[in-house]
Amino acid sequence: MNTITLLFFATLKDAAGTRRMELEIEEGTTVNGLRGSLGSRIPGLAAALPSALVAINKEFAFPEQVIPPGAEVALFPPVSGG
């Protein structure tokens, strides 16, 4: 198993009910796999996760990217600007 640190920002922090948590994931879990397991674990996040931006160790991550052991994974709601 692989322990990661999750950081939630803005509306995702409110939906998760926390700013930070530790989570055990299986080796080889991808960003999309994490989204699926988080949606099941924290139902309040499920609707927002498909469009959430994800960063692994402070670098934006792609859906099929594998999460390395001990990673810091940050989740951000989509951003709009003008």
Q: Residue 58's domain spans which residues?
A: 2-76
16-69: per-residue pLDDT in tens? 999 999 999 999 999 999 999 999 999 999 999 999 999 999 999 999 999 999
Residue 81 within a domain: no
How far apart are the C-alpha atoms of 59 and 82, rounded to whole Å?
24
60-81: per-residue pLDDT in tens? 999 999 999 999 999 999 876 5
Residue 82 within a domain: no
How far apart are the C-alpha atoms of 70 and 77, rounded to whole Å?
23
> What is the CATH classification number for the domain harbouring 9?
3.10.20.30
How far apart are the C-alpha atoms of 45 and 35, rounded to whole Å?
9
Residue 59 within a domain: yes
Unique residue bearing structure tokens 């994931």: 25
The number of domains in the chain is 1
Task: Report whether 39 contacts 45 (CB < 8 A).
Answer: yes
Unique residue bearing structure tokens 């995702």: 12
For 46, other C-beta atoms within 10 Å of its C-beta total 15
